[in-house]
Each structure stands twice: as structure tokens, then as C-alpha cells.
């Protein structure tokens, strides 16, 4: 229970830090956009815009319209301003992309046991599906006894029935449990009975509601693993 609570606290802290960064980034974006809008409003001139419109839409029979030097200067300044705005927007997009990539790398470099516990907590408690790369990470690290021990402690922490809101999340968790059972089958001489006991314990408590022919059916975790050869 203590480790589960620590994992929850760390997860909340991580999300608060992420939210703080996004709020700061959003404030910067709004400030930049307001300045750009203010700068653009300076170049709004009905006389200049009307002359440009007439010139651009003039028919072949219309006499040529010669721009004054002042109008040419304004047009050049307007185009330069547009180019500068486009460059600033591009830099802002690149900065956001770099920040997201840095956050992704930081998550990947996180301590494997801590990252595994966070992913399992998000999957079961918060009903957040893992991505393909996250699922691969979880399955690849199941061979480590420390990882499987933390998984057993997580499952033993449940003392009453728990509804997993998304049936796909419980199905994915069942896939992870089946991989653990496969490892237990391979290690027949030194099977960890505690791991098997924690699986049996949680499989009777974790459930979801599945829509079958317009009727909601209650499905437990053990129904996703009951056809395994170990039983």
C-alpha cells in the first residue's frame, strides 16, 4: 500500500510539473500572439489596401496604376512584417516540439521499476491504455525479479472489488499477467508462489463492464487468463 501511494504521489507530482510547463508555455504564446496582432494592426490602412485590391484585380482595359513611393514602402514593410511573423511562429513550433521531445526522453530514461509501477498504476487505476512502446517496455522488463515483485505488491494492495473503467485496459493488464504466468511456467522448479497467489488474489477483485449485444456484462480479470495452461 505504501509503494502504491508513493507511486500515486510521484505520478501527481509529474503531471503537476508538466501542467505548470504547459501553462507557462501557453502564457508565452498568448503574449506573443497579442504582440504580433498589435504590430499587424499598425499596417491596416484602407487607402493602401484599396489601391492594392484595385491594382491586383484590374482588367486588361484599365489604365495602369502607378504606385507612389510611399505606397511601395508600406507594401514592402508589410511583407517584411509578415515574413518576420512567419519566422517567429516557426521558431515557436520548433521550441514546443523540442520541449515535448525532451520530456519524452526524460520519461524513457526514468528508473525502470519506477516507470513500470507508474505505467501499471495508470493502466489499472486511471484506465489509461499504454502505447505500443510502453507495453513493449513493460513486457520486456518482466524477466526482472524486482519488476515482478513490485507487480505482486501492486496486486496484493487491492482489498475490495475494483472497477477498471475501460475494458481494453483490463484486457491489456490480462495480457501482462499472462506473460508473467508464462515465466512462472518456464521456472517450474523455482516457481514463486507469492506471485501466483497475488495473481489469483487480484483476478477475483479487478473487473470491468463489457458491452455484449446491447447488454452490459461484468467481466473479471480471471476471465482473461483462465484458459492459460498453468491452470
- pLDDT for the residue 66: 47
- pLDDT for the residue 206: 93
Query: What helix, strand, coil percent values describe the chain, rounded to 5?
Result: 70, 5, 25
Contacts of 143 (CB under 8 A, 6+ apart): 183
DSSP labels, 19-85: HHHHHHHHHHHHHHHHHHHHHHHTT--HHHHHHHHHHHT--TTSPP-PPPHHHHHHHHHHHHHHHHH
What are the boundaries of each domain within the chain? 2-108, 112-225
| Beta strand ranges found along the chain (DSSP E) | 162-163, 206-212, 215-220
Sole residue written with cell 507511486: 7
- Cα dihedral 82, 84, 87, 93 in deg (nearest 10): -80
- Determine the Cα angle at 178 with ends 176 and 183, to 5°: 100
The pLDDT tens digits along the chain (231 residues) read: 666 666 667 667 666 676 676 676 666 777 777 776 666 666 666 666 666 666 666 665 555 544 555 566 667 777 888 788 888 888 888 887 787 777 666 655 667 888 888 899 999 999 999 998 889 989 988 888 888 888 988 998 988 999 999 999 999 999 999 999 888 877 654 556 778 888 888 989 999 998 877 788 899 998 888 887 766
- Whole-angstrom distance, CA of residue 199 vs CA of residue 193: 10
pTM, rounded to two decimals: 0.51
Q: Note the Cα 6 to chain centre separation in Å.
A: 22
Q: How many other β-carbons are positioned within 10 Å of the β-carbon of residue 88?
A: 14
Amino acid at each position: 500500500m505504501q509503494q502504491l501511494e508513493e507511486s500515486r504521489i510521484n505520478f501527481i507530482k509529474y503531471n503537476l510539473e508538466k501542467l505548470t510547463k504547459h501553462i507557462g508555455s501557453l502564457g508565452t504564446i498568448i503574449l506573443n500572439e497579442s504582440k504580433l496582432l498589435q504590430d499587424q494592426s499598425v499596417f491596416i490602412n484602407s487607402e493602401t489596401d484599396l489601391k492594392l485590391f484595385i491594382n491586383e484585380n484590374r482588367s486588361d482595359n484599365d489604365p495602369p496604376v502607378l504606385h507612389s513611393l510611399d505606397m511601395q514602402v508600406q507594401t514592402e514593410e508589410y511583407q517584411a512584417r509578415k515574413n518576420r511573423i512567419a519566422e517567429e511562429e516557426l521558431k515557436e513550433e520548433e521550441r514546443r516540439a523540442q520541449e515535448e521531445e525532451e520530456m519524452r526522453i526524460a520519461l524513457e530514461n526514468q528508473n525502470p521499476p519506477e516507470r513500470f509501477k507508474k505505467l501499471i498504476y495508470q493502466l489499472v487505476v486511471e484506465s489509461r491504455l499504454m502505447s505500443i512502446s510502453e507495453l513493449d517496455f513493460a513486457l520486456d522488463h518482466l524477466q526482472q525479479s524486482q519488476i515482478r515483485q513490485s507487480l505482486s505488491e501492486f496486486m496484493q494492495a487491492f482489498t475490495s472489488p475494483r472497477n477498471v473503467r475501460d475494458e481494453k485496459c483490463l484486457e491489456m493488464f490480462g495480457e501482462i499477467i499472462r506473460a508473467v504466468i508464462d515465466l512462472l511456467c518456464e521456472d517450474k522448479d523455482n516457481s514463486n508462489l507469492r506471485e501466483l497467489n497475488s495473481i489469483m488474489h487480484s483476478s477475483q477483485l479487478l473487473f470491468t463492464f463489457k458491452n455484449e449485444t446491447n447488454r452490459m456484462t461484468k467481466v473479471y480479470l480471471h476471465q482473461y487468463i483462465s484458459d492459460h495452461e498453468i491452470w
